[in-house]
Amino acid sequence: MAAPRPPPARLSGVALPAPIPDLEALRALTALFKEPRNRETAPRTIFQRVLDILKRSSHAVELACRDPAQAEHLASSLQLITESFRCLRNACIECAVNQNAIRSLDTISVAVDLVLLFRELRVEQDSLLTAFRCGLQFLGNAASRNAESQAVVWMHAFPELFLSCLNHPDKKIVAYSSMVLFTTLNSERMKDLEENLNIAIDVVAAHQRQPESEWPFLIITDHFLKSPELVKAMYAKMSNQERVALLDLTISRMAGDEPLTKDDVPAFLSHAQLIASTFVDQCRVVLKLTSEQHTEDEVNELDGIPLILDGCSVDDSNPFLTQWVVYAIRNLTEDNSRNQDLIAKMEEQGLADTSLLKKMGFEVEKRGDKLILRSTSDKPPQE
């Protein structure tokens, strides 16, 4: 006669298998934890059992990392890991008691280690991506509105997890890792980012790739832009495209529906000063280059003259920009008939605005079949 089965445990009146040994039991828990009352009455022993499943399943992932041939045997382990993360993710929703219990079991450390292992696996399986995403969702929920859990997630995840995930080809992994970063960041941890600028720059790059994703946007507007020191350090290492993206977000924040607070104003004034000083420095470099004879032809060959002229028309209300363009064009055309001819032909073909040239102190004069670009200050007085 077979031994009797142990009586089922109960969670808010719903019968569950006592040992939680399999995938079906995990799925049942995941569904139960969608309800607040079930989350609030969950016994701590459940989270210990889920952690045990995670630990056992992680061994298969470790083996696959060491021996890629083992990857084909990962299917059942990845299913268990995924459902364990879903269960823990749901248990943490707006429930500090569960967050604290899960944290005290060191589950966060195990989850971070697994996520990092996922990044090392050289396999293309949808089940792997799903487990990866659910692990990040769990970490974000575990840290949400819980300062102690945020500190633990940050301790284990920074910087390796963010360096591994923010540039991942999967959009959801980028979004969920951004969620974890946003949730765990605070003013004290901004110093850590100053020492790991690649993470901050990766966030800007993620926003460029996925402008529709709210998490990179919120990280930049709610955290980065409040730290002049971080922005200055980032700006020095960013590409021009990344700088433009950061400038767009700065303008967006300033022009948004929510006004800047009194505490925000000094930071944004610092950003404006940084951008303005960098712009002036770069203009001086361009001006110096264009004043050198051997670079005048190089600018022509690189189609730089149309770009410089276009820079004046981008913002007609900016007198400083127009002034730098005037100086650059004067240097490029002085004693350089080739560049003078180019601008004259641009005007004849409609590519150069006549009013723009006049504003800059130039005009095009036709002498027979030849077009001459001349300074209006050199024009002889009319009788």
pTM for this prediction: 0.70
Taking Cα atoms as reference points, which of 263, 248, 259, 256 lies closest to residue 216? 248
All domains of the chain in start order, with CATH: 10-184 (1.25.10.10), 185-276 (no CATH), 291-378 (no CATH)
| pLDDT category of residue 263 using cuts at 50, 70 and 90 | confident
The burial of 313, by beta-carbon neighbours within 10 Å (0-12 exposed, 13-18 middle, 19 or more buried), is given as middle
Sorted by sequence, the CB contacts under 8 Å of residue 104 that are 6+ apart come out as none
> Residue 354: pLDDT band by 50, 70, 90 thresholds?
low
Residue 324 has pLDDT above 80, yes or no: no
Per-residue pLDDT, 250: 87
Residue closest to 247 by CA, chosen among 209, 207, 214: 207
Which residue is associated with the tokens 């280690």? 113
> Is the pLDDT higher at 124 or at 133?
133
Planar angle of CA 109, 112, 116, nearest 5 degrees: 140
Least confidently predicted of 271-280, 281-290, 302-311: 281-290
Looking at every residue in the chain, the average pLDDT score rounds to 81
Please report, to the nearest 10 degrees, the dihedral formed by the alpha carbons of residues 200, 237, 253, 209 taken in order. Answer: -70
* Residues forming a β-bridge with 370: 367
Chain centroid, CA 335 distance in Å: 47
Please report, for residues 94, 145, 155, 164, the alpha-carbon distance to residue 151 in angstroms, rounded to integers and kept in the order given: 18, 11, 6, 19
Q: Which range, 28-42, 330-344, 367-381, has the best average confidence (pLDDT)?
A: 28-42
Do the Cβ atoms of 264 and 249 come closer than 8 Å?
no
* Of the listed ranges 14-28, 120-134, 142-156, 208-222, the one predicted with least confidence: 14-28
Question: Percentage of the chain with pLDDT > 70?
Answer: 70
Is 64 in contact with 118 (CB distance < 8 Å)?
no
Upstream peptide bond of 228 is cis (omega within 30 degrees of 0):
no
d(CA 61, CA 121): 8
Q: What pLDDT, in 10s, does the model give residues 66-81?
A: 888 887 788 899 999 9
Q: How far apart (Å, rounded) are the C-alpha atoms in residues 323 and 306?
A: 16
Q: Tokens 């712009």 identify what position?
A: 279
Interval 122-140 mean pLDDT: 91
Q: Give the Cβ contact number of residue 12 at 10 Å.
A: 12
pLDDT in tens, 74-119: 889 999 999 999 999 999 999 999 999 999 999 999 999 999 999 8
Kindly tell me if the per-residue pLDDT of 175 is higher than 80: yes
Burial of 34 (0-12, 13-18, 19+ CB in 10 A): exposed
At position 194, the amino acid (one-letter code) is E
Can you count the helices (H) and strands (E) in the chain?
21, 4
Looking at the DSSP bridge assignments, the partners of residue 362 are 375
Q: Where are the alpha helices (DSSP H) in 121-146?
A: 126-143
Contacts of 331 (CB under 8 A, 6+ apart): 287, 290, 291, 296
- In the predicted structure, residue 6 carries a pLDDT above the cut 90: no
Question: What integer pLDDT is reported at residue 333 of this predicted model?
Answer: 72
The H-or-E segment that residue 99 falls in is helix 96-104
What's the whole-number mean pLDDT along residues 201-217? 95
Q: What is the pLDDT of residue 65?
A: 86
Termini Cα distance of the chain: 126
Query: Tokens in use for 225?
Result: 């832009």
With CA atoms as reference, report the closest residue to 198 among 181, 183, 176.
181
**Structure confidence by residue, pLDDT tens digits, 42-55:** 999 999 999 999 99
| C-alpha to C-alpha distances, 180 to 25, 151, 153, 183, 184, nearest whole angstrom | 28, 12, 8, 5, 6
Say whether pLDDT at 148 is over 80: yes
Q: pLDDT grade, residue 289 (50/70/90)?
A: low
The CA-based angle 363-365-369, given to 5 degrees, is 145
* Burial class (CB within 10 angstroms; exposed 0-12, middle 13-18, buried 19+) of 43: exposed
